[in-house]
Amino acid sequence: MPGNVKAALAKRELMETFRARPDYQQNDYLKWIALAVGPAAKDKRLQQMLEELETGGLFKGEPWTPPTPVTRATSKP
């Protein structure tokens, strides 16, 4: 993870929220920011990611609902 992204997540206390997202979203956010052309575009994408993590319910501008955790039934002896 690039240092500026790590610092921004830490500053806004969003690292745990970022890590709670599925791996594909974490990777996609990082790649999306890295592929932006120019510092202004990279910063704009970083800010969007941070806002989406704070608000919840969005992934790169699209509605997203976290999956419901699956609970496993335990068998009784």
Residue listed under structure tokens 């969007």: 48
| pLDDT at residue 3 is higher than 70 | yes
**Averaged pLDDT, 56-61:** 92
Would you place residue 62 in the very low, low, confident or very high pLDDT band (cuts 50, 70, 90)? very high
Please tell me the predicted confidence (pLDDT) of residue 77.
Answer: 60
pTM of the model: 0.84
Please tell me the predicted confidence (pLDDT) of residue 72.
Answer: 75
Please tell me the predicted confidence (pLDDT) of residue 75.
Answer: 64
